[in-house]
Structure 1
Amino acid sequence: MHGTTHLAAHSVRPIRVLLLLTSLHGGGAERVAVHLLNRLDPERFDVRMGLLRAAGPYIDLVEDKSRLIVAPDGDKHFNFDGTNKAQYTTGNIVGAAARAPLAFRRMIRESEADVVMSFLKGTNLLVWLALKGLGKKRPKWIAREGNNVLAVVGEEAPSAFIRKASLGLTSRAYRAADAVLANSTDMASGLVEDLGLEAAKMRMINNPIDIERIAAMRDEGVPAAPKRPFIICAGRLEYQKAHEVLLRAYAKSGVWRTHALVILGKGSKLNELHRLAAQLGIGEYVRFIGFVANPYAWMAKADLMVLPSRWEGFPTAAAEALASGTPLLMTDCKFGARDVMEPGVSGEMVPVDDVDALANAISSLIADPARRKSLRDGGLERVRNFAIDAMVEKYADLFAEFEPVQA
C-alpha cells in the first residue's frame, strides 16, 4: 500500500469503499480500479472490489486478492465481455436485469460499504437498480463514467428506440447518484449537457498513470518486434478506435516503405482489418500483435504512436505513450484528447475520420526526427500531470466527501 494521507483524528474506523465492475477485462477503468484497491491508504480506507466475474488480465495486478468479492457462478451468468452491440441480445438483457443487480446488492450488504463507486455505463445502470429499496442502509454512490456516452449509445444500440431508451435510463440513473465522476474536463461538461445532470454533482479526476512502473518496463526487450523501424497503435479492435482509418492513412502516407505498422489489442474487427490491409497492398507491413502484458516496451521502441479514435473518455494509452517516451499523434476526439496533451508541444492532433490529414501528419513526423524528439520531451513533461500518487490522492479526497458521521 502506498497511501500517504493520515486518518482524521475524529474517525474511529476507515471509510468502507466498494469498487464495482463486471470483470477486470478492458482498459482504463479497470486499471484505475486496481490502482485504487492497491494504493489507497488502509488507515483511511477499507477498500474492496466487487466483480461479477473474476476474469481479465488485470486480476494478476491485484495485490491482495482477499479484497475481491466475486459473484457465485459468474462465468455462467455474467459473461458480458465483447462488443457493446453484443450486449443487446435478449438473453443478455434479461439475464443482466434479473441477476446482476441482485449480485451487486449482496456485495454491497456484505461489505457494509459507506461509499460505492461503479465504473462505466452498463455497470452504473446495474448498480442503480441494486441500490433501489435499500432505504437508510443505502451507501453513498459515485457513478464513474469513462467514455463518451452519446457515442457509445449511438454505436451500440440496434435501433433508435433502444438508443432513446438507453439514454433515458442512463440519465435517470446518473441523476440518482450522489456524485458523477468523469475522467476528462470536456466529458464532465458533456455529461451535464447531454444527460441533464446537476453541475454540482459532477467531479473530474484524470486517469492515473504509473509513470515509475512504465519507466521500469519500457526498456525490456521485445523479441517479436519488426526488424525495421515501426509506428504503433494500441487499442481494442473495435469501431471506436478507427483502425481502418489508420490503415488507409498508413497506406496513403507511403511510410510503409520504411516503417512497419504494429497494432496492439484484440477485438471483433481483427479479420476485417486483416482483409483491408491486404486490399490496400500493405498486408506484409502490418503486424497485429494482440494483447501484450508490457505494451510500454513496444511503445518505447516505436518512432511514433498513432491513436485515431473516433471518441474516448480519457485516452489512457495516449498518456502511457507519453510516459514511454513515444512521440504522439492522435485525433482531436471527444473526450480527453486535450487533457492528455497540448497540440504542438507534447503531441500532434488531426481531425477525427480524416484519412488525408492523418496520412500527412504521419509522413511529416516520420520525416522529421528533430520534431519527434521535441514532442517526446514535451510528452515526458506533460505526463507528470497524471502521476499516480497525485491522482489517487484526489480519489481519497472524493471518498472523504462522503465520510459517514461516526460516534
Structure 2
Amino acid sequence: MMWRGDEIPASDRPIALLVNILSGGGAQRRVASLANRFAELGRTVELVSYEADGPMRAILSPAVRVAPIEAGGLAAYCEQARPAVLMSCVTDTHRAAVAAARDTSVPLVLRASRHPYRKLPRWNLPKRLAEPFKLRRTARLYAQADAIVALSDDGADALRRLLGRRPARIETIPNPVVDRIRAAPRGPCANMPLVLGVGRLTAQKDFTTLLRAFALVRADRPARLHLLGEGPERRRLRALATRLGIARDVEMPGEVRDVADRLLHADLLVSSSLWEGMQAVPIEALAAGCPVVATDCPGGARETLQDGRLGPLVPVRDPAAMARAMIATLDAPPDPALLAEGAARFTAEGKAELYLALFDALAGARAGSPAIPAGAMSASPPAPLSSQG
C-alpha cells in the first residue's frame, strides 16, 4: 500500500512520539527530554497522547506540539499528520502503535522501557503459569516493529533471545537520565544515616525485602529509611514495618518531585526490584554522589553499577545479603567522583542524535534509500547473551 506521506520528504514530516498519559513520571520526563532535544536540533516534533493536559506539558519546549487523540484514534492521526516515524515510548502504547502502523504503513519504533523477563514470586502461581503466553504475545508484538530501542545491553540481549529467529532491528540507546552531574565530596556518614528507596509501591519493587533488610541494619545501628513513592502496597508495607519494630524509623511521604535533591542529602539508595528496564533513580543517585546498593535483577542494574564496581549487587529477595551490603557501604562509601564518572554515560548528550540517526535510516529505507545496518548506531557494543530470565 502506498502511504500518502511518501511524496513529502521525511525532513518535512513530524516525528511522532506516543505516550499514554501526560504525567510527570520518570518515563514521561525522559521522553520530554528527548522531544525537547529533537526540537533543538531543528526537527518537527509532535507528542501524541490520550490525555490533552498534565504535568508533562510544563517540562516540554514550546517548540514541541502536543497532539491529543481519542482512544482508537492513532491510525487517523497518522493518516492526517503523515509522521516520518512513529515511536511508541511506553509499553502500554505498543499494541495501539503496532495496529496504527500496520494500517498506515508509517515506520514504527518500539521503545522497550521494560525488561521482557520478570522474576515473579513463587507464590504467584497464576502469573507464573501465564508468563509463557505473555512472552509469546510480547514477541509477536515486537516482531512487527521496524526497529526496537532497548535501554540497556541486557535488555537488548533479552529481546534477541525473546524474538529468536524473527528478524528484528534492535538498537541500544541508554536513557538520557542525567541533566547535570552534581556529585561533590561528602563528609563522614551521619550518626543517623538516611537510606532511600524510590519507586511505586508495587510487588515489582519488592520493598518488603528492603524493609526486612533495614530491620537488620537498624539492629546494628541507628538509621532512617524513607520510601518515596505511592502505590497499592502502602498499607501492607506500613503494617510490615510495624511488625518488624521499625515503624518509627520509616517514613513514607508518597510521591515526591524532588528526588534528585533528596539524593544529594541521602547516605544510601537501595534498589530492591525484582526486575527493571533501565531504572533511572540509581543513575540519578550516582550523579548526585549518593552510594547505591541494588539487586542483581533482570534489567540494567548490573550495567549501571558496572558489574559491582560502583556499588554492591545482591541477590533478589535476600534481606540478609542486602543488609550486609548496606552496612558495608555505609561504613565505607565509594568516592563520589567515581560515581559521577559512572553517571556520565547517561547524560542527554548524544542520545537524541542516536535516535534521529535511527529515524532517518528507517525513513530512508521506506523511501528506497540504503539503510544503516542494525547495531551501527548503538551507544555501546552488544554484550554477550545474558543467562537471566
Given that residues 11 and 84 in structure 2 are in contact (C-alpha distance below 8 angstroms), is that contact kept between their aligned partners in structure 1?
A: no
The change in CA–CA distance for 1:194 and 1:53 in structure 2 (over 3 A counts) is same
Task: Please give the alpha-carbon distance, in whole angstroms, between the structure 2 residues aligned to 1:300 and 1:116.
Answer: 37
Structure 1: 5+ residue stretches without partners: 1-10, 73-99, 219-225
Structure 2: 5+ residue stretches without partners: 1-8, 185-189, 370-389
Deviations, residues 41-81 of structure 1 (Å, cap 9, x unaligned): 45552111111124554332112286111124xxxxxxxxx
Matched, 1:110 2:83: no
Q: Trace 1:99-138 onto structure 2 (pairs within 5 A).
A: 100=71, 102-134=72-104, 138=105
Give 1:148 shift: 1.7
Given that residues 35 and 64 in structure 2 are in contact (C-alpha distance below 8 angstroms), is that contact kept between their aligned partners in structure 1?
A: no
Given that residues 153 and 166 in structure 1 are in contact (C-alpha distance below 8 angstroms), is that contact kept between their aligned partners in structure 2?
A: no
Deviations, residues 173-193 of structure 1 (Å, cap 9, x unaligned): 211110111101011111111
Give 1:130 shift: 2.1
The residue aligned with 1:392 is 352
Given that residues 125 and 169 in structure 1 are in contact (C-alpha distance below 8 angstroms), is that contact kept between their aligned partners in structure 2?
A: no
**Higher mean Cα deviation, 259-268 or 46-55?**
46-55
The change in CA–CA distance for 1:178 and 1:379 in structure 2 (over 3 A counts) is same
Higher percent of residues as helix = 1
The residue aligned with 2:45 is 47
Output the aligned Cα RMSD. Answer: 3.0
Aligned residue identity for 1:394 = L
Residue among 219, 233, 238 paired with 1:269 = 233
Task: Please give the alpha-carbon distance, in whole angstroms, between the structure 1 residues aligned to 2:79 and 2:106.
Answer: 10
Given that residues 15 and 403 in structure 1 are in contact (C-alpha distance below 8 angstroms), is that contact kept between their aligned partners in structure 2?
A: no
The change in CA–CA distance for 1:114 and 1:173 in structure 2 (over 3 A counts) is same
Give 1:240 shift: 0.8
Aligned residue identity for 2:344 = R
Count residues in correspondence.
354
Task: Please give the alpha-carbon distance, in whole angstroms, between the structure 1 residues aligned to 2:267 and 2:311.
Answer: 13
The residue aligned with 1:31 is 29
The TM-score normalised by the length of structure 1 is 0.79
The residue aligned with 1:175 is 143
Aligned residue identity for 2:147 = A
The TM-score normalised by the length of structure 2 is 0.82
The residue aligned with 2:305 is 341
Give 1:157 shift: 10
Identity of aligned residues (%): 30
The change in CA–CA distance for 1:49 and 1:41 in structure 2 (over 3 A counts) is closer
Given that residues 14 and 42 in structure 1 are in contact (C-alpha distance below 8 angstroms), is that contact kept between their aligned partners in structure 2?
A: no
The residue aligned with 1:358 is 322
Task: Please give the alpha-carbon distance, in whole angstroms, between the structure 1 residues aligned to 2:90 and 2:282.
Answer: 20
Deviations, residues 175-229 of structure 1 (Å, cap 9, x unaligned): 11101111010111111112336465111111112332x639x9xxxxxxx9943
1:194 is paired with a residue whose SS is helix
1:36 is paired with a residue whose SS is helix
Give 1:119 shift: 2.3
Aligned residue identity for 2:161 = E
Give 1:146 shift: 1.1
Given that residues 157 and 163 in structure 1 are in contact (C-alpha distance below 8 angstroms), is that contact kept between their aligned partners in structure 2?
A: no
Structure with bigger RCO (C-alpha 8 Å, 6+ apart): 2
Residue among 57, 69, 74 paired with 1:59 = 57
Residue among 115, 118, 134 paired with 1:148 = 115
Aligned residue identity for 1:104 = L
1:317 is paired with a residue whose SS is helix
2:297 is paired with a residue whose SS is coil
Q: Trace 1:235-384 onto structure 2 (pairs within 5 A).
A: 235-254=199-218, 257-366=221-330, 368=331, 371-374=332-335, 376-384=336-344
Task: Please give the alpha-carbon distance, in whole angstroms, between the structure 2 residues aligned to 1:132 and 1:385.
Answer: 35
Give 1:26 shift: 7.0
Give 1:165 shift: 4.4
Matched, 1:186 2:154: yes
The change in CA–CA distance for 1:48 and 1:328 in structure 2 (over 3 A counts) is same
Give 1:131 shift: 2.5
